[in-house]
């Protein structure tokens, strides 16, 4: 397949964070294409929803110049992923925003229209930062009621029924009714979106499971949606698996393939501790991590092969035992295992393009493994170790797909540097340092940012030089949502062309 550069894809991301907007735009640039998104200021802010009528107008005005579309239904309908969990709009009011998709397909029937819509997550703690306000008191109880109730429905264990009934009774009826009504409303919206696939309006749909577990109200919804997909024969157009923030990456890779920009590629896996990873179900997910990898590879339009010799690239998958730790929640590795020197050596001697998928921890990479690796990190084609396992898997697979298609080496290395600066340096190290120095810092974002700048910038710049990223400049940083969980990096590529001083 010959490369067709210059395509322009119109997109609505789930929000304006760098990882869901700016970095996906960088991925498109690697392929010589453009992912046109609204300005950050037009995408709402954390709990504050975007102006959805404005976004519909924004899309309408730019649709003719686009070669394809990728839309977050959560942004289009609710004004963002976080607002989708608590916005008060009625079901009919929300459904009206979907009319834009019908309008686009009517006027531009040959342009691919991709969409994604997250099943509303069920957080297992009493943090209400991204939830309904009553989550601060009843979040864990709602999670237990959900988990044990669904587990009893599936397995029939009387112990689950006991826990479900006990926790349910501890939640005020008004809160129970409100929560279930919100879930039912959002599920109805998702069902309508599924109908749009059946009607040929949406060409490809991903229904990611955001922050989930093996059982729960959200998993019951997933089973119903999966049954509907199978009954309607939509399996090649609708995919359901764990994830959320990374979906725009995989849909971009697939759409670039459908537009003839990149070819379909073959990927092989090099598993660290194969016996352990066979047992692993990643934190915040509902299935074995190897199944999540297969789902993400399929979503991006790539093919998983067993033999390295026929693969276009190899993904080295790092784990450190059968269960993940979690840097953000300060959860150590439950059953840590020693690094395998043969696996490290195999990476260092790799003959095919190599990507490193770092899944030992949720919410950050593994410093021990990266320190032991003698391979120059700048030689990797991609690296990821951020947030949930599926967030890392999907974004990494998409970057490999795009970078292998003779994309810009310089721009790919730029995105690689960003992921290492964020996933490895910040999430696995500096975030913990920051939280120790400024405890409870959410109330004082100015102090939080000033402390982080002092802690991070000089060391991170020195690290870039040590790793050979001489062509990437770290100009500054910011906190997209004025909290410590995520970081925004201001970076640029330093041109290799230097102007000679006159003699």
What are the pLDDT digits (tens) for 147-179?
Answer: 999 999 999 999 999 999 999 999 999 999 999
Q: Is the pLDDT of residue 1 over 80?
A: no
Burial of residue 199 (CB within 10 Å: 0-12, 13-18, 19+) is exposed
**Residue 4 banded pLDDT, cuts 50, 70, 90:** low
Burial of residue 8 (CB within 10 Å: 0-12, 13-18, 19+) is middle
List of E strands, 135-225: 204-209
pLDDT value for 213: 87
Q: How far apart are CA 194 and CA 217, in angstroms?
A: 19
Question: What are the phi and psi torsion angles at 28 (to 5°)?
Answer: -65, -40
In terms of Cα–Cα distance, which of 187, 295, 206, 293 is closest to 247?
206
DSSP 8-state code for residue 282 = -
Alpha carbon 20 to its chain's center: 7
pLDDT value for 491: 98
Poorest-pLDDT segment among 76-80, 227-231, 312-316, 491-495: 491-495
Question: Which are the contacts of 256, defined by CB distance < 8 A and separation ≥ 6?
Answer: 7, 9, 28, 31, 33, 262, 401, 402, 405
Q: Is the pLDDT of residue 503 over 80?
A: no
Q: How far apart are CA 236 and CA 251, in angstroms?
A: 14
397-451 pLDDT per residue, tens: 999 999 999 889 999 999 999 999 999 999 999 999 999 999 875 678 999 999 9
Q: Is the pLDDT of residue 2 over 80?
A: no
Q: How far apart are CA 403 and CA 31, in angstroms?
A: 7
pLDDT value for 498: 44
Question: Which are the contacts of 137, defined by CB distance < 8 A and separation ≥ 6?
Answer: 126
Q: Is the pLDDT of residue 348 over 50?
A: yes
175-210 pLDDT per residue, tens: 999 999 999 999 999 999 999 999 999 999 999 999
> What count of other Cβ atoms lies within 10 Å of the Cβ of residue 198?
15
Are the beta carbons of 313 and 404 closer than 8 angstroms? yes
| Secondary structure of residue 326 in the 3-state scheme | strand
Q: How far apart are CA 340 and CA 273, in angstroms?
A: 7
Burial of residue 443 (CB within 10 Å: 0-12, 13-18, 19+) is exposed
Share of the chain above pLDDT 70, in %: 97
pLDDT value for 407: 85
Tokens for 423?
A: 């996933």
Q: Let me know how long the chain is.
A: 503
Alpha helices in 313-444 (DSSP H): 341-348, 367-372, 389-403, 409-419, 431-437
Poorest-pLDDT segment among 48-52, 61-65, 495-499: 495-499
pLDDT value for 85: 97
pLDDT value for 442: 60
Q: How far apart are CA 338 and CA 341, in angstroms?
A: 9
Are the beta carbons of 295 and 333 closer than 8 angstroms? no
Whole-angstrom CA distances from 14 to 151, 247, 382, 387 are 30, 9, 23, 15
> What count of other Cβ atoms lies within 10 Å of the Cβ of residue 148?
23
pLDDT value for 497: 56
pLDDT value for 499: 39
**Residue 500 banded pLDDT, cuts 50, 70, 90:** very low
70-81 pLDDT per residue, tens: 999 999 999 999
Q: Is the pLDDT of residue 3 over 90?
A: no
| Secondary structure of residue 167 in the 3-state scheme | helix
pLDDT value for 495: 79
373: left (phi over 0), alpha (psi -120 to 50) or beta: beta
In terms of Cα–Cα distance, which of 74, 61, 71 is closest to 35?
71
Burial of residue 372 (CB within 10 Å: 0-12, 13-18, 19+) is exposed
Q: Which helix (DSSP H) or strand (DSSP E) does residue 32 occupy?
A: none
Mean pLDDT to the nearest integer, 446-464? 97
Q: Is the pLDDT of residue 360 over 60?
A: yes
DSSP 8-state code for residue 102 = H
The whole-chain average pLDDT of the chain stands at: 95
Question: At how many degrees (to 10) do helices 289-299 and 247-258 cross?
Answer: 40
- The predicted model scores a pTM of 0.96
Are the beta carbons of 355 and 383 closer than 8 angstroms? yes
């Amino acid at each position: 397949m010959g490369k067709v550069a210059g395509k322009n894809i119109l997109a609505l991301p789930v929000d304006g964070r760098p990882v869901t907007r700016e970095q996906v735009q960088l991925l498109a640039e690697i392929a010589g294409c453009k992912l046109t998104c609204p300005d950050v200021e037009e995408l709402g802010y954390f709990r504050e929803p975007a102006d959805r009528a404005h976004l519909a107008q924004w899309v309408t005005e730019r649709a003719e110049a686009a070669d394809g579309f990728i839309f977050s239904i959560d942004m289009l309908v609710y004004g963002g992923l976080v607002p989708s969990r608590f916005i008060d709009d009625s079901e009919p009011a929300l459904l009206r925003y979907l009319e834009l998709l019908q309008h686009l397909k009517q006027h531009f029937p040959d342009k691919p229209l991709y969409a994604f819509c997250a099943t509303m997550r069920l957080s297992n703690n009493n943090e209400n930062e991204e939830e309904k306000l009553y989550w601060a008191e009843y979040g864990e109880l709602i999670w237990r009621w959900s988990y044990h109730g669904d587990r009893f429905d599936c397995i029939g264990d009387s112990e689950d029924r006991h826990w479900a009934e006990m926790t349910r009774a501890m939640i005020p009826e008004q809160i129970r009714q409100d929560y279930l009504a919100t879930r039912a409303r959002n599920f109805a919206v998702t069902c309508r979106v599924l109908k749009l696939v059946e009607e040929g309006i949406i060409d490809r749909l991903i229904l990611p499971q955001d922050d989930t577990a093996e059982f729960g109200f959200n998993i019951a919804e997933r089973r119903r949606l999966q049954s509907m997909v199978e009954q309607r024969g939509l399996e090649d157009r609708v995919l359901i698996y764990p994830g959320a923030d990374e979906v725009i990456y995989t849909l971009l890779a697939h759409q670039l393939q459908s537009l003839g920009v990149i070819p379909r590629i073959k990927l092989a896996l090099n598993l660290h501790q194969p016996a352990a990873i066979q047992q692993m179900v990643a934190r915040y997910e509902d299935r074995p991590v190897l199944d999540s990898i297969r789902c993400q590879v399929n979503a991006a339009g790539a093919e998983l092969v067993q033999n390295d010799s026929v693969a276009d690239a190899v993904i080295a998958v790092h784990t450190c035992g059968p269960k993940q730790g979690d840097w953000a929640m300060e959860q150590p590795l439950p059953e840590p295992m020693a690094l395998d020197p043969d696996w490290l050596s195999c990476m260092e001697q790799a003959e095919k393009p190599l990507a490193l998928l770092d899944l030992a921890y949720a919410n950050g990479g593994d410093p021990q493994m990266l320190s032991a690796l003698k391979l120059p990190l700048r030689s990797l084609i991609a690296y990821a170790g951020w947030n949930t396992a599926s967030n890392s898997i999907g974004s990494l697979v998409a970057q490999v797909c795009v970078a292998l298609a003779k994309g810009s080496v310089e721009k790919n290395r730029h995105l690689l540097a960003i992921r290492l600066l964020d996933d490895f340096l910040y999430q696995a190290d500096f975030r913990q340092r920051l939280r120790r120095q400024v405890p409870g810092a959410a109330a004082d974002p100015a102090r939080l940012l000033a402390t982080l700048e002092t802690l991070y910038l000089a060391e991170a710049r020195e690290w870039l030089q040590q790793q050979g990223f001489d062509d990437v400049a770290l100009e500054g940083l910011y906190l997209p949502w004025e909290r410590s969980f995520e970081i925004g990096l201001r970076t640029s590529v330093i041109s290799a062309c230097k102007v000679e001083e006159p003699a």
